[in-house]
Structure 1
Amino acid sequence: MTESLPSTSFTADQSGQVLYISPQWYAYTGMAPGADITAAWPQLIHPDDLPAVAEQYGAALAGGGPWRYEFRLHGADGQYRWFASQGVPEPLADAEAAGRPRQWFGSNLDVDDLKRAQQQLEEKDQLLTSILSSLPASVVTFEGEGLRYGFFNDTFQRRVQGRAMLGRPAGEVFPEAEAQGFLASLRGVLRTGEPYRGRRYPPRPATRARGSRGTCTWTWPTCPCATASSRPTPSSASPLT
């Protein structure tokens, strides 16, 4: 049955001796069936990952517990791919009843495509954050019904004299925005999912930069952005002076 699984399945005893491994291992590594897997597998793990793998695997066997970790494994094509490994021990009573050392049942699942996709998303997120942070216009995102700050760029933080704090509700940080009706507009975006075209909000003295002269006016075009829950969120507001 293990031959039909997408992951490599294996069994090991408490000493670390590999008692069984499914054919997927031989297909990926290119090793010949019957080879000494116990001696060979550490040599196929990426050198940067081996210390952590050896530590966690050894601790699980010594302590009678499970393991769960990720590592890069060398394949027959000469390339390393990411795998997620997990293993659980059999009940001690079962081993004692069978009159043999305790065994662990493990699996190695190829997660390389997922890891690469995650890395690409992280790189895109870093690029987007860098672009937004360098814009001369202020950019802010709000999260949830409490309108908590999820992101703001450096321009916005400078304009509000460092008052904004990630995770804090906008109404607590800027009570004047509530009085001016701006937060009610954001809640309308949350409720309807429709963009808010904005109106002009003359900032109160508390929101003006120190040492500024004359007056300035902020406009806040706001639009909903998609979230994992598919709920509309007033996630992008760009005040321009």
Structure 2
Amino acid sequence: MPALDLVIAAGVAFVAGVVNSIAGGGSLILFPTLVALGLPTVAANVTNSVAQWPGYLGGVAGFRAEYAGQRSRLIRLGLVALAGGTTGSVLLLTTPSGAFDLIVPVLVLLASLLLAVQPLLTRRLPDEGDRPRRDPAWLYVALFAATVYGGYFGGALGVILVGVLGVALHRLKLANALKSALSAVTATVTLVVFGLFGDVHWDVVAVAAPVNLLGGFLGARIATRIPTGPLRLLIVTFGVAVAVYLFLRR
């Protein structure tokens, strides 16, 4: 990729990291940018997944205190996320690229709409504080389906996970913390699978991954100081526009 394009990719990756920490939806910015810079959609998707991996680790570090007493649950749910993420990643690499081109506008639109309704969803989720609650059986099925989606595309995966975990556990703060851990597991799976077998553009990853991590760190520092509503609206509008563009270019 030309040097100027790499500079653009790095700048957008930084913004994506900031956005992920503040409102979520960074993939809806970086992925279409890589497509606009000339990467095929599948290559843009796998490169985007690998480049944003460091940001998920920062999220896990920020929730360390919330994981106290959750070791067995983290292992159980982490194994499901491992299986789901692997399945989704393999599906992406083994199905025809034309199939991904066909479905990606729908996925981008779905991710944008999920991001739009996230505040409404989280307000409606019950939160029963620290009262222990057993995992319902359906949680594992829903989590597997969500992480298959995460391995295949991943946009707004965090929104889906918060919804599923919040409804299942009735503990919104814990759901948010577990979301970061399970997103990290899914992202690590995609890093390994796409890194070994996918068409990753490593020059883009080399410049995008460090600044994405930096953006995520800085975004976390300013997240409480700026309103997320206008930023969320901007990202959703951009995501819908991208979905329309991807649909028209097929």
TM-score, with structure 1 as normaliser:
0.20
Higher Rg of the two aligned structures = 1
Choose between structure 1 and 2: higher strand proportion. Answer: 1
TM-score, with structure 2 as normaliser:
0.20
Choose between structure 1 and 2: higher helix proportion. Answer: 2
